[in-house]
């Protein structure tokens, strides 16, 4: 909410709701496995990880991005388990430690897909 308030020059902030357990799991599963289902040996640890994200879509997508790039074993995934708010704190640190003139650039990054080559000219236009 603080970031949205800071970034908005109008009072038209869209209030997002938290995802429920089923929505969280579907988002996570889609981001990690695409159209396949989560293997049974990863399901319980995956559910713990998703629960630790507290229904926050950005946190779920960020964790899923990490898990999609590492070995898909229960032992490795157990090292990634997230405590409530832990990742959110890390993400807010990224924003809070930027100089004020770079904060809008950080927020505009959400408009681009992951691993997209962002040209400075595009960012300047925004």
- Note whether residue 30 is domain-resident: yes
- Note whether residue 7 is domain-resident: no
Note down pLDDT in tens along the chain; length 126 residues. Answer: 677 777 666 666 667 688 999 999 999 999 999 999 999 999 999 999 898 888 888 888 888 888 888 889 988 888 776 554 565 565 665 677 778 888 887 778 777 777 788 888 887 787
For 46, residues 6+ apart whose C-beta sits below 8 A from its C-beta are 25, 28, 29, 32, 38, 67, 77
- Note whether residue 118 is domain-resident: yes
- Does the global pTM surpass 0.75? no
At residue 93, the pLDDT reads 58
What is the rounded CA–CA span in Å between residue 55 and residue 77? 19
Q: Dihedral of the CA atoms 5, 90, 112, 29 (nearest 10)?
A: -110
Q: Which domain holds residue 85?
A: 18-125
At residue 27, the pLDDT reads 95
- What is the count of structural domains for the chain? 1
Q: Are 40 and 49 in contact (CB under 8 A)?
A: no
Would you tell me how many other CB atoms lie within 10 Å of the CB of residue 93?
A: 10
């Amino acid at each position: 909410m603080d970031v949205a308030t800071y970034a908005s020059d109008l009072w038209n902030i869209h209030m997002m709701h938290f995802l429920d357990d089923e929505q969280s799991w579907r988002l996570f599963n889609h981001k990690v496995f695409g159209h396949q289902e989560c293997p049974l040996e990863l399901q319980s640890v995956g559910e713990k990880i998703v629960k630790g994200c507290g229904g926050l879509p950005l946190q779920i997508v960020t964790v899923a991005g990490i898990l999609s790039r590492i070995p898909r074993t229960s032992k490795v995934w157990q090292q990634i388990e997230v405590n409530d708010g832990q990742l959110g704190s890390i993400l807010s640190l990224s924003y809070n430690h930027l100089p004020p003139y770079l904060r809008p650039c950080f927020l505009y990054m959400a408009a681009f897909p992951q691993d997209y080559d962002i040209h400075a000219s595009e960012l300047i236009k925004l």
